[in-house]
Amino acid sequence: MSGQTDTSRVVTNPTGEIESRPRKLSRAEKRAIAAKNRLSSPAASVIALLIAALWTVPTLGLLITSFRVESDIQTDGWWNAFARPLFTGYNYVSALETGLGDNFVNTLVITIPAVVIPITLALLAAYAFAWIPFRGRELLFVAVFALQVVPLQVTLIPLLSLYVDLGIDGSFWTVWLSHTMFGLPLAIFLLHNFMKDVPASLVEAARMDGAGHVTVFFKVLLPLLVPAIAAFGVFQFLWVWNDLLIALTFAGGDATPLTSAIADLAGTRNNAWYLLAPGAFLAMAVPLAVFLGLQRFFVRGLLAGSVKG
């Protein structure tokens, strides 16, 4: 890391010349510097800003719409709010009056276990696939990974009949179990790859010191895996939070989450569609906060394992 700071200081020298050469740069480092030069040029910055702005415009529009008065929303687009500013928080009040608060809690109740359960199971499975040799390991791993190919839509009706037979339909269990099932193949695959990347010497050294599987897992591997877990956690969190299909099929009645409640928010004949903007913004708030809060983790998690040493 310190080498990187060195070179970056060299490169950002205002004259643009490389003044000092503390050591000979490797080819990879030279390439990195070239890429960095290209990416931090003013033109690239302008383009990046432009993309960022374009990317933000729909969200901004949604935010502005959510605060406009009903008749304005129905008459023209959100950009007219700049010319004719008239804002209100009543849309949020009426959206919440329909009971969105309960659905918000439901979504939390659904999301947290639906993230924790697959990660826990996948960690154990990934450890076994990576560090416990057993017969048919490769075959089983390929089989698990191949499950990703199955579109979850084909499983909806058989799963639901299973749940009905078990007598747990309409409860949170069905949603937790379904999200766990659909999330596990990817989770096992990702975590397995991260675990495999941990140098074998590290694990062997721990073994030599007398550590069993449990100690190796908790003391050696888990601390190294935190970024990977966070990365998958963010993925799974966003997926479960925004999921409508599984929620519609399995979570009825009292377990209805935000997404399906918002789908119904506009009313039977859609004449309350102005409520959709505040509803959507309420639903976005938590994922947005999670993403902004864990952004650094997220990027680090994606990079972890891709760069060695």
Give me the residues that bind other proteins (CB under 8 A), please. 40, 49, 60, 64, 69-71, 74, 82, 85-88, 90-91, 93-94, 97-99, 156-158, 160-161, 163-165, 169, 248-249, 252-253, 260, 263-265, 267-273
Helix/strand/coil for 304: strand
In this structure, what DSSP letter does residue 221 have?
A: I
What's the CA gap between 215 and 222, in Å, rounded?
A: 10
Token reading at 197:
């990347």
Q: Which is nearer to other proteins, 116 or 181 (CB)?
A: 181
Q: Which is nearer to other proteins, 198 or 263 (CB)?
A: 263
Q: Which is nearer to other proteins, 129 or 250 (CB)?
A: 250
Smallest distance from other proteins to CB 227, Å: 17
Smallest distance from other proteins to CB 184, Å: 22
Q: Which is nearer to other proteins, 103 or 236 (CB)?
A: 103
Helix (H) or strand (E) holding 40: none
User: Could you tell me if 81 and 68 are in contact, meaning their C-beta atoms sit under 8 angstroms apart?
Assistant: yes
Q: Which is nearer to other proteins, 98 or 193 (CB)?
A: 98
Residues in the chain: 309
Where would I find the H helices in 243-275? 245-250, 258-263
Q: Which is nearer to other proteins, 64 or 144 (CB)?
A: 64
Smallest distance from other proteins to CB 129, Å: 33
User: Could you tell me if 194 and 104 are in contact, meaning their C-beta atoms sit under 8 angstroms apart?
Assistant: no
Smallest distance from other proteins to CB 130, Å: 33
For residues 275, 277, 282, 287, the Cα torsion angle rounded to the nearest 10 degrees is 150
Q: Which is nearer to other proteins, 82 or 134 (CB)?
A: 82
| Region at 167 (left for phi over 0; alpha for psi -120 to 50; beta for the rest) | left
What's the CA gap between 124 and 147, in Å, rounded?
A: 18
Q: How many CB atoms lie within 10 A of CB 189?
A: 19
Q: Which of 256, 224, 241 is nearest to 290 (CA)?
A: 241
Burial class (CB in 10 A: 0-12, 13-18, 19+), 278: buried
Smallest distance from other proteins to CB 174, Å: 10
Smallest distance from other proteins to CB 49, Å: 7
Q: Which is nearer to other proteins, 53 or 146 (CB)?
A: 53
Smallest distance from other proteins to CB 177, Å: 15
Residue 41 CA, distance from chain mean position: 30
Smallest distance from other proteins to CB 159, Å: 8
